[in-house]
Structure 1
Amino acid sequence: MKALSGQFDLFDLDPGYRETPRRVAPARPARKHPIVAPGTEDELVQLLEDTGRFKVLRKLVPRPIIDRASSRFQRLAVLVDVETTGLNHARDEVIEIGAVAFTYDDAGMIGDVVGVLSALRQPSGPIPAEITRLTGITDEMVAGQSVDLGALDALIEPADLVIAHNAGFDRPFCERLSPSFIPKPWACSVTEIRWADHGFEGNKLGYLVGQSGLFHDGHRATDDCHAVLEILARPLAGSGVTPFAELYAASQRLRVRVWAENSPFETKDHLKARGYRWSDGSDGRPKAWWAEIAEENLDEELRFLREDIYRWPEAEPLTQRLSAADRFKAA
């Protein structure tokens, strides 16, 4: 009956009856600094950020796709990302692949997006619950789905460079999916950009996106590719150089993998502290500690091994020179 009594209160049923006057709260004093509604979203964002108490994240909007013939940049790179049923490329399978193709020039300037591919793929068995939790991809979503390899190859075959955010993980899965990936030069936007030197707190995509003032729908392959592209294209504070220019320059340099075979057991902590990793030999590589270094640092690394590890000036550790076409392969 609350609504009904409220309706009757709108009318004076007894002209001779008057309620006791209610106390009226005193009017609030006018604001010294009234809030002025800004005319645009950008003005509102600026108003908040100027207080020094807010940092506004902007939603990442994918770049438009144009025909490659319309781009003034001649070179082509493809960003790829895969979601998989697990971490083992020899056993686990791709359940989603995303790819974003873009043009660039020899100076490392990004041009235009000229192609996008997004595809789900049904694996041979059920998707593990943990993978569904991380990616949002369910068995129902991938049922009957497959990758159009013709469309994928058409995107990859003309590429001058393939990029992944953790290429050591993505490349082996991509090469199992399509042989068009095998001969391509690869670059890794995790390991081949000095993110910490540029003021970033981490190299995970979430950190990079957030510290760039953006947010996006993560953990889906194509969305992550668009996010990486935007981060690569944004000039770094202080230098004006883009992360992509640094990545592209790194991809042009040779690197050397150095193997500390038969190193004394008591030197393992010394090797680990220098950044060496252990290979158990199960993937066809030597069973030994190893590190990957820039070619110009090879002489210094050999000196370290001869003096600090083997203690023998004539030691000749195994070395393997790697171009971008060799790096990040499974074996």
Structure 2
Amino acid sequence: MKNSSAQFDLFDEAPGYREVPRPAPRPVRKQATPPLDARDEEEVAQRLEATGRFQVLRKLVPRPVIPRSESAHPRLAVLVDTETTGLQHAKDEVIEIGAVAFTYDDDGTVGDVVGVYGGLRQPSSPIPPEITRLTGITDEMVEGQEIDIDALDVLIKPADLIIAHNAGFDRPFCEKLSPSFIPKAWACSVSEIRWADLGFEGNKLGYLVGQSGLFHEGHRATDDCHALLEVLSRPVGDEMIVPFVELLRSSTRSRVRIFAENSPFDMKDHLKARGYRWSDGSDGRPKAWWTEIDEERYDDELRYLRTEIYRWEDAEPLTLHITAENRFR
């Protein structure tokens, strides 16, 4: 008779075995990282930049506003930015305006912020969807809103200079909004600063802010004015040029606008190649090819038109002398 023996599966519990539950692991407490103060943050940023593998953007913090009487700088400039329902000032309307007033010296030294205004305005018709997509401004935001012209004029009336990032667009809208803008000297921070020569890859405000080592979270009109002020006041390039200094010099330079009225049709490609632009007359300018040049270049340009375009030595094309008071209209 074959003997039988008990077999135990090594993976089964042995007789009499009772598993004792293991205690749950104790949670590891993470030590809270102490917050850095501003000096420590800047040291970390500089150490990262020193490796050559990082570029650090600093958050743009608007300058504090102080009373004009407390600023030691004699001149007053106002940065303005508008949002509108479209591109044509003859029919479209302002839906937002931002303004930041700051003092400066004649040598271009930026002083203090002495006033800020921002306001929304409900237009006479709904805001086009494309404008809402671009600006973030909705009909609900502007419902019942109106710009306080009196508060805006408090900043504009004493200003020596109005600055806009594309003054050719903003000036006509601002002049429709308030007559206080009409007699003012204007400067354009897009066209009157050689941004490429200063090392910037473009002249859009977003490029300028980023390449100045900054970022800002708000994108309302006043936020953009604060951002532009920082870009204008920071030295850049190997020569540490302050963009506002260049803007101030450009704005005081007289220029000449020449309209090549009644120029021969077959000369249009020559004019275009020389930098002339076509005006169809819809903006109040003559219907003609035109250009704007520095005043000292006028004699050479007149000689070119007489010999190459009109081929008549007594030709007198319409000429307008342009200053900061009538530029960008």
TM-score category (smaller protein): 0.7 to 0.9
- Contact 1:80–1:99 at 8 Å: present in 2 too? yes
Q: Secondary structure at the match of 1:66?
A: coil
Deviation at 1:165, TM superposition (A): 0.4
Deviation per residue, 1:221-243 (Å, 9 max, x gap): 10110111111101122223311
Q: Is the 8 A contact 1:60 1:227 kept in 2?
A: yes
**Aligned residue number for residue 173 of structure 2:** 173
Counterpart residue number, 2:195: 195
CA positional deviation for 1:297: 1.1
Segments of structure 1 that go 5 or more residues without pairing to the other structure are 1-7, 13-36
Residues 238-261 of structure 1, C-alpha deviations (whole Å, 9 max, x = no match) = 223311111111111111101111
Q: Secondary structure at the match of 2:114?
A: strand
What is the match of residue 7 of structure 2?
Answer: none
Q: Aligned runs of 1:31-42 on 2, under 5 Å?
A: 40-42=40-42
* 2:184 equivalent in structure 1: 184
Deviation of 1:323 (Å): 1.2
Distance in 2 (CA, whole Å) between partners of 1:287 and 1:49 is 54
How far 1:302 sits from its partner (Å)? 1.2
Deviates more, 1:208-217 or 1:79-88: 208-217
Other-structure match for 2:3: none
Q: Distance in 1 between matches of 2:24 and 2:180?
A: 81
Pairwise CA distance, 1:308: 2.2
Q: C-alpha distance in 1, partners of 2:278/2:247?
A: 26
SS of the equivalent of 1:45 reads helix
Q: 2:50 maps to which residue?
A: 50
Could you list the runs of 4 or more consecutive aligned residues of structure 1 that deviate by over 6 angstroms after TM superposition? none
TM-score of the two chains, using structure 2 as the length reference: 0.87
CA apart distance, 1:144: 0.7
> Of residues 18, 22, 47 in structure 2, which corresponds to 1:9?
22
Aligned to 2:160: 160
C-alpha displacement of 1:218: 5.6
Aligned-residue sequence identity (percent) comes to: 72
What is the CA distance between 1:328 and its match in structure 2? 0.7
Pairwise CA distance, 1:11: 6.5
Cα deviation, 1:45-93, whole Å, max 9, x if unaligned, reads 1222122121111111111111111100011000000000110101111
What is the rounded CA distance, in whole Å, between the counterparts of 2:231 and 2:317 in structure 1?
38
1:288 aligned residue: 288
Alignment match, 1:105: 105
- Counterpart CA distance in 2 for 1:169 and 1:156 is 18
Match of 1:315 in 2: 315
Paired residue secondary structure (1:40): helix
Residue matched to 1:4? none
- Residue of structure 2 in register with 1:269 after alignment: 269
Give the drift of 1:9. Answer: 3.2
In structure 1, the residue matched to 2:258 is 258
Cα-Cα RMSD: 1.7
Q: Counterpart of 2:6?
A: none
Native 8 Å contact 1:101 1:113 kept in 2 = yes
Distance 1:195 1:150 in 2: 35
For residues 152 and 11 of structure 1, do their structure 2 counterparts lie closer, same or farther at Cα, with a shift above 3 Å needed?
closer
Question: Which of the two has higher C-alpha Rg?
Answer: 2
Q: TM-score, normalised by structure 1?
A: 0.87
Q: For 1:281-311, what per-residue CA distance to the aligned partner results, in whole angstroms no more than 9, with x for missing partners?
A: 1222111000111111111211222222222
Residues 134, 219 of structure 1: 8 Å contact kept: no
- Return 294-303 or 146-155, whichever deviates more: 294-303
